[in-house]
Structure 1
């Protein structure tokens, strides 16, 4: 029975993945992550996005090319060897729809909890998320589909932990 909670957490993870992937409105998880990141951090490059999304550079280039063909992103003026990327108006609209559908699907899962249970669960989530955070890069990758306006850097347990780690590293 030692792994009972871990097994249940795995089932919840699968349920979350299934419900959130259904909210991607025809996008791959990688494409959705690229759009979401550019929504909140315009000007990222293909290389930066490849790291955050967890794909190889050649795959990132193909992904960006496809999103550009769909008129969801556009390449900016090259700056040396890098080209900043931004969302088009259609790209921003796609991200807003994606976030709304994703949050609705996740909120539906939470509807099984009473208000006080939901608050306790949120506190436990904060503890788990902060405890699992190892770096700023980890934070960016983990939060690639998040609605950053809901959970800003002062509130997000992942961002707060990443900041603590950076401060500690800078003091050493």
Structure 2
């Protein structure tokens, strides 16, 4: 199999996974993709500033502020004044429930996709995905951005997260 065909298959798979995963995430959370990712990031790192949350999602500060406004209007996050102009964001109980639902919906879709593989194929796929994620982390350069919709507890259960490991390796740790 030549690289161009393999790359084409990978691209088609990435788009198809996107097409089945993201609608389930959005439907279960009741908010858009970026807002869903914000809830996941805040679940892992409560109290981030609006600017830092935006940076981790790849949003400008004004776009992040508008998204936080919307999440706050829906009762999913709260704001807390920090020092200076810094505003910290945290999830409400409703926000944490939405996060739990969206991660479960995401997982269900992805487990369904993997259901077409044998146990041996799944075992072979895991290290390959780790290698690809490490390469993507090196290209993107931001673990939080790569993992913005990750179910973090699943990734580190009985294993090291390949993205986190790549970040530590690059930092010399």
Do the two structures share a fold, i.e. TM-score over 0.5? yes
**Do structure 1's residue 63 and structure 2's residue 67 form an aligned pair?**
yes
TM-score relative to the length of structure 1: 0.92
- Pick from 116, 123, 126 the counterpart of residue 122 of structure 1: 126
Aligned to 1:43: 47
Structure 1: 4+ residue segments shifted above 4 A: none
Q: When the two structures are aligned, how many residues end up with a matched partner?
A: 168
Tell me the equivalent position of 1:84. 88
In the alignment, the residues of structure 2 paired with residue 159 and residue 129 of structure 1 have an alpha-carbon distance, to the nearest angstrom, of 10
Q: Are residues 1:161 and 2:161 paired? A: no
Matched, 1:12 2:13: yes
| Corresponding residue for residue 35 of structure 2 | 31
- On the 8 A contact 1:52/1:137 being kept in 2, the answer is no
Distance in 1, matches of 2:148 and 2:167, equals 15
Inter-partner Cα distance in structure 1 for 2:128 and 2:141: 23
Residues 135/43 of structure 1: CA separation in 2 closer, same or farther (3 Å cut): farther
Moved more, 111-120 or 132-141: 132-141
1:77 CA drift (Å): 3.3
Residue ranges of structure 1 left out of the alignment (5+ in a row): none
Give the TM-score, by structure 2 length: 0.91
Task: For residue 81 of structure 1, report the CA deviation from its aligned partner.
Answer: 2.0
Q: Deviations over 1:75-124 (max 9, x none)?
A: 12322221111000000000000000000001100000000100101111
Structure 2: gaps spanning 5 or more residues = none
Aligned-residue CA RMSD in angstroms? 1.8
